Amino acid sequence: MGKSALNRYNYKGYKIRTGKFVSGIIAAGSELEVVEILKQYEIEIIDCKREKEGVWVFMRLFNNKFSLVELLSFYTLMKQLLKSGIPLVQSLEKIFEHVGNTVIGDVSVSLRTKIGNGLSLSEAMKEHPKIFPELDVALVMAAEETGDLASVFEQLSEKVEWLIALRRNIRKALVYPVIVLFLAVAFIVVMMGYTVPQIVGFLKSQDMELPLYTTALISTSEFVHSYWWVILGGVVVTVLSVVGLYRASESFRYRIDQLSLGIPGVGDFLRKVDVARFVYTLATLYKREFHLLDGVMVSSRVVRNSVIKGAIETAAMNLRDGDELSYAFAKTGEFSHITICMLGVGAESGRLDETLTQLSNIYDKDVEDAVENLIAMIEPAMTVVLGGMILWVAVAVFGPVYASFENIEF
């Protein structure tokens, strides 16, 4: 079945049972689909108009996927409704009635319509790849076979909560260096573009021999003042080129990811974040009785760093070739000793699900520790860099000024 593009429609109508006037906005493929959808909610349409294309396209550019908080809200509502014994279709209808014309409401209506057209829930979710991750669709598909949708939505809620906590840790690691970097750039721009040029005239008028560090500062200031547009353009072009190559070239991406893992502090943080993603996902899949090899392959897709992802895919091939779980991962050389040992113990004891959960908890704590260590390492480094810049400007500017005062005869 082909995927039809959704448009937004303003509708007016009334409740068939009560005669109450209602109006709102709904996402659908056509006006006929709007009528069919709202009939399911016992709403008779009086008027229906499609929103202007430009407005809807603009909104889709900035709102074409759930935020993690919205995804958590949807999964939590589904869990609560299904656990209350409400059937799937009615649960989706109640979500729309509860949240109204929001992104969550639009998606619940879309899922309800697709299920009414004969698709399963997982198939309907699969047609929204920007909203529902592949892993979530796979878990729902497995739950449909067992008829245990309520528990899978509970598990998905826990997964999204874990992702939100992980993202919070990542942002925590980035906030301080970004702020300091912004202050450093602002300081350089103000000093080189405004303060230093004002003092240069005074220094030159004194007809004195300027030290090397002062002439270097003056030359740097004049270059920034005259060619700021070249510097800005160069930075933009470099960033766009690196980002473009990173996305387009697998070899370039692999090399950058490899270099990033070698940066002191940063590499340890990136490695722990990706391994934490992998272990948590594998633990989730294994609890849903996924085959171990399939679970490893699916879990590799949540890993961002191509070096770590490649190592997991290599471990999966080792498993396919008959290697034991711990040895399959040990041969890649990318996983810690504790990870390999716990995988081995879990596999041998037949309690791999518990071991993976414990390992996931360990990595959660490791990520938090890595964030604190990274901040502790970046903080003094950025302070030294910023302090060095301030010292250079102060000595280069005020040193000759002070010397000129000494030469004044009273």
Tell me what pLDDT residue 396 has.
81
Binned at pLDDT 50, 70 and 90, residue 353 comes out as confident
Question: 396 versus 410: which is more confidently predicted?
Answer: 396
Instruction: Dihedral sign for Cα 64, 70, 276, 369, please.
Output: positive
pTM of the model: 0.72
With helix as H, strand as E and coil as C, how does 303-367 read? CCCHHHHHHHHHHHHHHHCCCCHHHHHHCCCCCCHHHHHHHHHHHHHCCHHHHHHHHHHHHHHHH
Binned at pLDDT 50, 70 and 90, residue 108 comes out as confident
H or E element in which residue 290 lies: none
Residue 77 has pLDDT above 50, yes or no: yes
Pairing mode, strands 21-28 and 7-15? antiparallel
Instruction: State pLDDT tens for residues 221-261.
Output: 888 778 888 988 998 999 999 999 999 999 999 999 999 99
What mean pLDDT value characterizes the chain?
Answer: 82
- d(Cα 113, Cα 123) in Å, to the nearest integer? 12
Q: Can you tell me the mean pLDDT for 1-13?
A: 64
Portion of the chain with pLDDT greater than 90, in percent? 23
In sequence order, which ranges of 191-211 are alpha helices (DSSP H)?
Answer: 196-205
Instruction: Dihedral sign for Cα 200, 203, 208, 211, please.
Output: negative
Residue 141 has pLDDT above 50, yes or no: yes
Q: What is the DSSP secondary structure assignment for residue 209, as one 8-state letter?
A: P
Tell me what pLDDT residue 61 has.
36
Give the start-end residues of each E strand in 86-132: none
Instruction: State pLDDT tens for residues 22-75.
Output: 777 676 777 887 887 777 777 888 888 886 654 444 344 344 456 888 888 889
Are 278 and 285 a contacting pair, CB within 8 Å?
A: no
H or E element in which residue 122 lies: helix 121-126
